Amino acid sequence: MISQKAKYALRALAALARARDGEPMLISEIASRQNIPKKFLEQILLDLKHHGLVLSRRGKAGGYTLLKPADQITFGEVLRIIDGPIAPLPCLSQTAYRRCEDCDSEATCEIRHVFARVAEATRQVLFSSTIADTLSIPQSIESD
C-alpha cells in the first residue's frame, strides 16, 4: 500500500496540471478541490518543491505551479520522494540500497529473485506513467 501522503501528492500534482497555463494555484484551492487537509498539503507541496517538481510564489497572487511539463513527471519519481524506495526489499533498491541484515548472502537468498521481478514489473508501470496521464480522467462537474 502506498501512503496517504503519496496519494495526496499525486492528486495535488494532477490538480496543478489542470490549472490554466502558468496560473499559480493556491494551496487552499488544491486542498478543497482534492479533499486534502490544508496544513498537511503544505508540507507535501514544500517537499515537492525542494525536489524540484513544483515552484511557488509567496504573497498576493501567489501559489504553486508545475516546474516541469506534466508528461515529464512520473509516478515513480513522486513515490520515491514521498514514500521512499520502490523496491520491495532494501537489497533491491536502486536509490537506497541496503543489505538485508539477516541474509547470509544475496546470491543464496531464496526470495530475492522473485522480488527482483516484482520490482522490475512495478518500475515498468510507475516510470512510464506520468501526471499527464491523469488528465484523461474526466472530473466531476463542479460549479465554479
Partner DNA sequence: GACTTACTCTACCTACTAGATAGAGTTTAG
Partner DNA sequence: CTAAACTCTATCTAGTAGGTAGAGTAAGTC
For 134, the 3-state DSSP assignment is helix
C-alpha–C-alpha distance, residues 85 and 91, integer Å: 11
Identify which range of 1-9, 90-98, 109-117, 127-135 contacts DNA by CB under 7 A: 1-9
Burial of 30 (0-12, 13-18, 19+ CB in 10 A): buried
Q: Which residue has the cell 526470495?
A: 111
Pick one of 58, 138, 143, 144: the residue that binds a second copy (CB under 8 A). 138
Contact criterion met (CB below 8 Å) for 79 and 44:
no
**Of residues 53-112, which lie at the interface with DNA (CB under 7 A)?**
56-64, 83
C-alpha cell at position 63: 501559489
Measured in degrees and rounded to the nearest 5, phi and psi for residue 133 equal: -65, -25
Q: Which is nearer to a second copy, 18 or 68 (CB)?
A: 18
Identify which range of 52-60, 71-79, 104-112, 131-139 contacts DNA by CB under 7 A: 52-60
Q: Which is nearer to DNA, 46 or 118 (CB)?
A: 46
What residues line the site for a second copy (CB under 8 A)?
1-2, 4, 7-8, 10-11, 14, 34-36, 75, 84-85, 87-90, 100, 102-105, 107-111, 113-115, 117-118, 121-122, 124-126, 129, 133-134, 137-140
